[in-house]
Structure 1
Amino acid sequence: MFGIGNSAVQAAQVAQLGTALVALRLGRAARLPSGCVELVFSAAGQARRAPYSRKGRDESAYAYHPGPYETAFAPFAAAPEIGLRLRYLADASDPRVAQQRFDLFLFSEAGDALAIDALHGAVAAAVRDALAQGTLDLPACTTLDEWHAFRAGLNELLYTRFGLTVDDCVPVDLADAVDYAQVLRARQADMPGAQVRAGAGEAVLASESQASGADAHVAADEPVFTFDEVHGAAPDVPVAAAAAPSLGCGPAAADAHALRRLFLELPAWSAGVRALDLPAGQLLFAARRDVLQRCALAALDVNTMPSLAWAAPDRPAPPALQAQRAAHSEAAVHALDQAWALLARWRLAAPGSADHAQLLDDADRLTANLAYHLAGRRAVSEGGGDQRREPA
């Protein structure tokens, strides 16, 4: 009965591929919807296109639907009525690379299942963060040339970060879909000191929003997006946490997910930086060498990271220290996400451009942040001041 139940659950999930789920880990062979692709991952994370029946003992299998998928979100928090509508898909495999970026994304972040809403939230968060960090530029009153530059950066960002190809991107008006009262409540939650002053103003705005909503008319053929679809998931929510809520239930799960991502993705990011075509010059060569050395040390640090639950072999770590360590792990993953966005911008730089020096400075800053948070993950006391040292 247990096996039959598992088969029924997997069959129900497989039927949702392309509609509610993007990808699903397969526990047994299944009949997939049309257009789905099966991947078999080795224990080392190398993927090959193969059916489940060719999976080895220590291997795992995924099935995913390439799409296309469509979402709308507001790229700027200060203008929730101005949005972007994206249509993207996981494109065919690129024979020029040893490992497809979308394959790495699935193996590193998907967990047991990747929901479409989780992927939409991750894409929206990546675009917002890139705009905030300056790796993407979308100025007001955008000219045609500025829009083309933004589209090129967006295409490269989503491909470098997720392995997704942008099929279409258009600006949309989200004014009718935005609940401004809810926006104010979310901002009030971020500013505890303004709760008393904002209470009365929110009530007035909520009543006005309801009154105007009664008179508003939306065309029948125009899609209506909910607030969650417009704004997506929070930037600091991992994709797997939204796809599988069990991963976000405690610091241990969050820490394990973050360290897994760092273990799998840092070598891939280093390979991408190493493949860049830099202008000739000893200074740029030395700067890139330093960045790659720091990234290699960070990867070694991840590979030898101590257990979350222990401060020493004979001393368990208190819950507060475990939460602090997990927070450092998640901050290190956020630095890695920014490094992927930087790599996307770097790939668009002309070989002889003077931007490479600034991009190397940004890469040096991000790898320094990564090293700092990994050192915080190794902390044996709250605050990270009492570090264990080998005897001299």
Structure 2
Amino acid sequence: MKLAKRVSTLTPSSTLAITAKAKELKEAGHDVIGLGAGEPDFNTPQYIIDAAMKATEAGNTKYTPAGGLQPLKESIIKKFQNDQNITYKASEIIVCSGAKHALYTLFQALLDEGDEVIIPTPYWVSYPEQVKLAEGTPVYVEGKESNDFKITPEQLEATITAKTKAFILNSPSNPTGSLYTKEELKALGDVCLKHDILIVSDEIYEKLVYGGAKHVSVAELSPELKEQTIIINGVSKSHSMTGWRIGYAAGNEAIIKAMTNLASHSTSNPTTMAQYGSIAAYNEDDGSVEKMRAAFEERLDKVYEQLIKIPGFSCVKPKGAFYLFPNAKEAATMCGYDNVDDWVTDVLEEAKVALVPGSGFGAPDNVRLSYATSLDLLEEAIRRIDTFVRNKSK
């Protein structure tokens, strides 16, 4: 049977592919260290688990409104007021089955065939695929390594056409960990206002910032930018709730209403018990969020210094998320490889370390490694990579 054209054009996730290969090697008895994880290695805080269990035992196991429980929306509204000093109404928020689903639903509600969405590179792997699934066209603009992988307003301006509908902004970024400053956000936002382009601001890593840096949302900079922005966020990364699948979008009421109508015909509603857990996540924080952030920062500071000593590696030190995104092109060349992808394959086969090739993020000279694992394993992984490079380049 012939499949729909929309799925035949999809690019398989490089993250899932490397994870599957690492799992295969592990099952065969090999000591593999996987650094492909896109999720915190901590368990969900107990107070969140308790709240979900209590709600379940109380009989809260039925359908909820398609756009999410009103108490959860109120918790999200309070979070925006406390963190960004932005005020939203409940009708301007939709709760979805994860931030990924919020993005998917947004593009389905927003795009028609041929509409263009500007995506800075390196990008999270699902952005272009979701745009294509909505019959839109991804248009890439390079975030140069020399500028911490961030794009400039001049680059954005030069990429805009009559078909441009939206611009994706991810700060802190997956895979680079780069963080835009208030001034940089304002300059990019002004370009979008000038051309009436919707800003899709993915802020899922907002709580994971380091070195005294502060996350700023483009939506908090002016009322005009708030109206021009759809914020995507969720509890997955901040509260180690990846499997709970609760994310949300906040912004223009008409767009949120369209997304809610669409969600009512796809998921019916986000998982009820997970919504109650998310209410607790925002209303009853016991300090777990900061403890996890501090642990990630400690790992980053220790591992970064070891990573940049690997021959042929260079790396911009990230200010957020939990990824390092070193340029490994010189190391691969020293080892006799024509490209980084082949080098990554042999690092897994021979050194038993699973990295994610940067080609899946639009940056073929780089690799992504997650420090969402124990410091001991991180240090052992870097030791193995270093040994592999030195032995291969003799």
State the TM-score, normalized to the length of structure 2.
0.22
More contact order relative to length (CA 8 Å, sep ≥ 6): 2
Larger radius of gyration: 1
State the TM-score, normalized to the length of structure 1.
0.23
